[in-house]
Amino acid sequence: MRSQRLVTVCEEARCPNLNECWGLHRTATFMLMGDVCTRHCGFCNVGKGRPGPLDPLEPQRVAEAVASLGLAFAVVTSVNRDDLAEGGASHFAETIQWIGTLSPRCGVEVLIPDFRGSATALATVLEARPEVLNHNVETVPHLYRRVRPDADYGQSMRLLAAAAAFRDRHAPAMATKSGIMVGLGETADQVLELMAHWRQARVDIATIGQYLPPTAHHLPLERFVEPQEFDMYRRKGLEMGFRRVESGPLVRSSYHAQESFSARG
DSSP letters of 33-82?
A: S-SEESS--TT--SEES------TTHHHHHHHHHHHHT-SEEEEEE---T
Question: What is the residue-averaged pLDDT of the chain?
Answer: 89
Give the model's pLDDT for residue 264. 44
Label residue 73 by pLDDT band (50, 70, 90): confident
Q: What is the pTM of this model?
A: 0.89
CATH of 7-263, one of 3.40.50.300, 3.40.190.10, 3.40.50.2300, 3.20.20.70: 3.20.20.70
What gap in Å lies between CA 1 and CA 50, rounded to an integer? 24
Mean pLDDT, residues 175-179 taken together: 97
What gap in Å lies between CA 107 and CA 132, rounded to an integer? 8
Residue boundaries of the structural domains of the chain: 7-263
What gap in Å lies between CA 204 and CA 263, rounded to an integer? 12
pLDDT, tens digit (0-9, with 9 covering 90-100), for 97-130: 999 999 999 999 999 999 999 999 999 999 999 9
Is pLDDT above 50 for 163? yes
Taking the CB of residue 185, how many other CB atoms lie within 10 A of it? Answer: 18
Range with lowest mean pLDDT among 15-29, 81-95, 119-133:
15-29
Contacts of 26 (CB under 8 A, 6+ apart): 69, 71
